[in-house]
Chain A
């Protein structure tokens, strides 16, 4: 009989102490609503002040702003739910996300065209970002998913070093189709891997059911606030709160 997959949450806080503070709140909120939750916390050693012990696994990372991408392939769980540090869980349904994956490799929330206004630089002349990398579930048991997470990290770092871009000319990025302002975005790397890298054309991707509940931005307009069942994950991205919690 095959063993049941291990399931857990991945939370990453690097570069700024305020992310550590927010991550601690997030981990507590996960455990408030999912009693049996296992959480892997990836953070910098210099931030740890004892509160990190709320997590079940602790991994120390470097002070790069996108340590998230390195952490994804290091998850100790078979099925992982990654949640951005500036989120808070607000509903008991949180634990249902793992089963919702339902045999797929990856599950995201969509970045719809109507919501493009909320996300800086998510559109350009030849395309737009289509998935939101702030909250997602993945099954690392499939080697293609393991490769995907490693490639996401690798391509992003290469793009920041100007050593990779969808179009290269004389060894330099050619920004005519994909403008330079997208370069800072790991979400752009994600978009390219999912849509244009043939290696991942068969990766099984789905969106969360009732997706708006699973990554609800505080800036969403009223009509998008269809939360009869309640917000599961509240995303505080862009809140000035971060400044208040400087260490």
Chain B
């Protein structure tokens, strides 16, 4: 005889508690086990009670299903928060990478590399974004150009 067992971690799929998501494990006469994840409605399309739904309620219990649903929702909120945080971290790391790369290019410009203006070079090294890099790079280059003109 085939046995049917609904998973103990079944949860309400809808707030009106008319649908349950669960895993059904069936074992046939020859001992072959099959697992299916199913979302089961309280009523069939004709509005008749669904025996599978009742079977889950009988096996797992409404209270347990509600507890599972609360725990699952809390877990999902935490997972979403973590995903969001990781996304922000990735974005921040990408931004820092672009900034570092950009600064290295700025410091490869001879007039910046060879500038003796340590105060401005220090500001350029500490630049927090690409706009700051551009501003301080330009200030250094302009100063070097002015120095060259005065020397001429």
Which residues of A are in contact with B by a Cβ distance under 8 Å?
Answer: 21-22, 25, 28-29, 32-33, 35, 88-92, 218-219, 221-222, 230, 234, 236, 239-241, 244-245
The tally of CB-CB contacts under 8 A between chains A and B is: 47
A25–B101 Cα distance when bound, in Å, is 11
Contact sample, A vs B, 20 pairs, CB 8 Å cutoff: A21-B104, A25-B104, A28-B107, A32-B122, A32-B125, A33-B118, A33-B122, A88-B100, A88-B103, A90-B126, A91-B126, A92-B122, A218-B97, A219-B93, A222-B89, A234-B100, A239-B97, A240-B97, A241-B101, A245-B104
Q: Pick the contact of B125 from A21, A88, A219, A244 — CB < 8 Å?
A: A88
Tell me what chain B mostly uses at the interface: helix, strand, loop, or mixed: helix
Q: Annotate B78-108 by CB proximity to A: 1 below 8 A, 0 otherwise.
A: 0000000000110011001100110110010
Closest residue to B85 on the A side, CB-wise?
A221
A64 CB, nearest partner CB in chain B, Å: 25
Closest residue to A89 on the B side, CB-wise?
B125
Q: Pick the contact of A29 from B93, B97, B125 — CB < 8 Å?
A: B125
Interface positions, chain B 57-72, Cβ under 8 Å from A, are none
Q: Are A33 and B125 in contact (CB under 8 A)?
A: yes
Q: Are B126 and A241 in contact (CB under 8 A)?
A: no
Contact A35-B118, Cβ < 8 Å, known A90-B125, A230-B126: yes
Closest residue to B112 on the A side, CB-wise?
A28
B132 CB, nearest partner CB in chain A, Å: 13
| Interface assignment of B76: CB less than 8 Å from any CB of chain A | no
Which residues of B are in contact with A by a Cβ distance under 8 Å?
Answer: 88-89, 92-93, 96-97, 100-101, 103-104, 107, 113, 118, 121-122, 125-126
* B93 neighbours in A (Cβ, 8 Å): 218-219
A234–B128 Cα distance when bound, in Å, is 12
A28–B125 Cα distance when bound, in Å, is 10
* B97 neighbours in A (Cβ, 8 Å): 218, 236, 239-241
A29–B122 Cα distance when bound, in Å, is 9
* A25 neighbours in B (Cβ, 8 Å): 104, 107
Q: Are A28 and B100 in contact (CB under 8 A)?
A: no
B151 CB, nearest partner CB in chain A, Å: 23
A221–B91 Cα distance when bound, in Å, is 11
Q: Are B100 and A221 in contact (CB under 8 A)?
A: no
A33–B125 Cα distance when bound, in Å, is 10
A222–B87 Cα distance when bound, in Å, is 13
Closest residue to A33 on the B side, CB-wise?
B122
* A239 neighbours in B (Cβ, 8 Å): 97, 100-101
* B88 neighbours in A (Cβ, 8 Å): 222
Q: Are B89 and A221 in contact (CB under 8 A)?
A: yes
* B103 neighbours in A (Cβ, 8 Å): 88
Contact A241-B100, Cβ < 8 Å, known A28-B113, A221-B89: yes
B115 CB, nearest partner CB in chain A, Å: 10
A245–B100 Cα distance when bound, in Å, is 13
